[in-house]
Amino acid sequence: MSSPPRKSLDDVSSGKTVYSQDHIDPLPPESQAGNFPYTRGPYPGMYTKKPWTIRQYAGYSTAEESNAFYLRNLKEGQTGLSVAFDLPTHRGYDSDHPRVIGDVGKAGVAIDSVEDMNILFRNIPLDTMSVSMTMNGCVLPIMAGYIVAAEEQGVTPSQLSGTIQNDILKEFMVRNTYIYPPQPSMRITTDIIAFATQHMPRFNPISISGYHMQEAGATVSQELAYTLADGIEYVRHAQNRGLNVDDFAPRLSFFFAIGMNFFHEIAKLRAARTLWAELMKEKFNPKNPKSYLLRTHCQTSGVSLTQQSPHTNIIRTTVEALAAVLGGTQSLHTNGFDEAVALPSDFSADIARNTQLVLRDETSVTAVEDPLGGSFYIEHLTQKLCQDAREIINEIERMGGMTKAVEAGIPKLKIEESSAKRQARIDKGIDTIVGVNAYVQDKNEENFHIRNIDNTAVREAQIKRLKNIRETRNNETVKETLSQLENAARSEDKNLLEFTIPAVRARASIGEISDCLETVFKRFSANVRSISGIYGAALKDDKELETFKKQLRSFAEKEGRQPKIMVAKLGQDGHDRGAKVIASSFADLGFDVDIGPLFQTPQEAAQQAIDSDVHVIGISSQAAGHTTLIPELIRELHAQNAHDILVVCGGIIPKKDHQFLKEKGVAAIFGPGTPILNAAKIVLNTLENHLIYSPYSKPQDS
């Protein structure tokens, strides 16, 4: 059989025509985009007919500021909304709660009630605009707030389109913005799937997320396997609620990270589509072809970004974005180059968005359905990833499914092991990171505008609005709707979203709704566990390590014990990859290590450190709360006459904040990319000098 005539690239570039698989070589139906098992793409034609959605994830302190950003970006080429909420909202706290003083508005938009949601979507027509919301633990009042805000625009639930993340299993594995224990949390997830199935035919009620797994250190195979295993679990739970698989499966969506392993990331998306279609057929045998489709949003990696030479991150994000496109993503977020330094600025967000516009409109990547399909290497990687992921999924299935595996903590520990191995490879120079462990330039490139959130001003504004709402609403109606919600929570056959909507409509706050459910379900607190031996084994023959261990032994002989460090997370930031890697690695290096529980207040962390008689507290910060929470910790130590405890910190801390923190009493600050052995040396040297000279001065008042 002769091949159809091939079109010239000149024709493609001019926009006159596009390549399709038929223009190159005839393919069997099962190998074509839009046909089972969808390896080449979920839709015939793919980008030749419709490009991916440019959906930039953003939320800035207040609903007003976020709304202005959305309107500006939509005008400049963005094609869908993606809402980032602040940490108190994720964790079900109102902005006036004493546990969230340092977190309000810091890492996303603060939402306390439907009034904030109305402002967030002001002048944005919700009947035509697709909206993605990253929310899991506090998903009930946020989903209800979106529905009521639309209702007050005159838009019905059936008209709404978009996605709510609603993926609670991933939270227990890596992200940690859970509120309730796994079993009631799974009920909430399933209730939202059931409600959307009945009332919201254009809306995706769950986005099954592997993104945070890779960000926490998972390998490509682990991210793929655990994400699909989560999907299987959600389908089973929905079926157990009496839902027909064909009624909800076509609205399931996925969310993957795209890192720097270029060809593996392309193959991962192809393997994900293939494996999901095969698993759905084997386990559930849907009748509707759309039930087999894996449609995915992707986001470029945050953990691949470096504080050193941050402008180099533009290159990294471009490469990752291209991998997502060549893999066939349905929508994409590209990170700002400054996100290893601080929250993204408008300037970096513009570059990130324009990266997608250039790829879409200047490169002809939309002229081909699956441009790397047929490559011997891509096809090999796709098959290999399918095989590796199946082995992991089978292991999860033998445990009784993902809920059981998550309750046992197995995926979390596996990911932490991978993270420690990865860090050891970087520290040894096996994995090259330009500007970090290779081609390092001795200069400071942090000469650009850094976004700064006035946390106090945001919190005061939110509290003022909350106070006004509570004074003007019908509090008897609020009390009645919350009572009905609590009763529904005690009954397994009630849909909790149906009872949350009236409470939101009555102007109940997210904190009041979360407290109501907490009365029944209780607030979940994870057991603190850490791995050991991974980092130490990787550096066992390192000469610098041997020298360092001699110094440790000398310290122990002088002091009568090993140097003791407590690794802590303050506030509502659940990103604990850095804290866990530091804790396990410092233990391997010879430190006596305590780990604080997640979500500690400065007062709680100080008390644990005093009770444990530690030499050093190491604070891991990811969510921009360091200027509020760390000085408060130091003040608390001094209030309890614990001047001898050193405080060090690391994470995403802009250099402009270093002097401020040092003036408050921080002894050392470590940015992203600091080799762990180097950090350990600095901590030990600082501790030894501190014990000799006791230079700790009383911190200034804020």
Enzyme catalytic residues: 57, 211-212, 569, 573, 575
CA distance to 28, 40, 54, 81, 269, per residue, from 35 (Å): 10, 8, 25, 29, 16
Angle at 617 (CA atoms; ends 614, 622), nearest 5 degrees: 155
Tell me how far apart the alpha carbons of residues 507 and 509 are, in angstroms, rounded to a whole number.
6
CA distance to 266, 296, 353, 489, per residue, from 321 (Å): 10, 14, 11, 42
CA proximity to 219, closest of 257, 266, 255, 254: 257
Tell me how far apart the alpha carbons of residues 451 and 337 are, in angstroms, rounded to a whole number.
12
CA proximity to 101, closest of 631, 675, 677: 631
Which helix (H) or strand (E) segment is 670 a member of?
strand 668-670
Q: Within its chain, how far is the Cα of 226 from the centroid?
A: 15
- Which pair of structure tokens corresponds to residue 495? 């849909």
Tell me how far apart the alpha carbons of residues 291 and 247 are, in angstroms, rounded to a whole number.
9
Tell me how far apart the alpha carbons of residues 607 and 590 are, in angstroms, rounded to a whole number.
24
| Positions of E strands within 3-108 | 53-58, 80-84
End-to-end Cα distance, the chain: 79
Tell me how far apart the alpha carbons of residues 291 and 245 are, in angstroms, rounded to a whole number.
8
Are the beta carbons of 146 and 200 closer than 8 angstroms?
Answer: no
Angle at 525 (CA atoms; ends 519, 529), nearest 5 degrees: 165
CA distance to 36, 272, 285, 368, 379, per residue, from 29 (Å): 8, 19, 20, 17, 17
CA distance to 62, 468, 610, 665, per residue, from 93 (Å): 16, 18, 28, 30
Give the residue ranges of DSSP H helices in 178-261: 182-199, 211-215, 220-240, 245-248
Rg (CA), the chain: 26
CA proximity to 303, closest of 696, 612, 673, 680: 673
Tell me how far apart the alpha carbons of residues 97 and 661 are, in angstroms, rounded to a whole number.
25
For 634, other C-beta atoms within 10 Å of its C-beta total: 23
- Which pair of structure tokens corresponds to residue 415? 């990911």
Residue type present at position 463: I
**Exposure pattern of 568-607 as b/e (b: 16+ CB <10 Å)?**
bbbbbbbbbbbbbbbbbbbbbbbbbbbbbebbbbbebbbb
Residue 279, classed as helix, strand or coil, is helix
Tell me how far apart the alpha carbons of residues 501 and 201 are, in angstroms, rounded to a whole number.
18
Tell me how far apart the alpha carbons of residues 201 and 213 are, in angstroms, rounded to a whole number.
29
DSSP 104-131: TTTSSB---SHHHHHHHTTT--TTTS-E
For 637, other C-beta atoms within 10 Å of its C-beta total: 25
Non-local (6+) Cβ contacts of 471 within 8 A are none
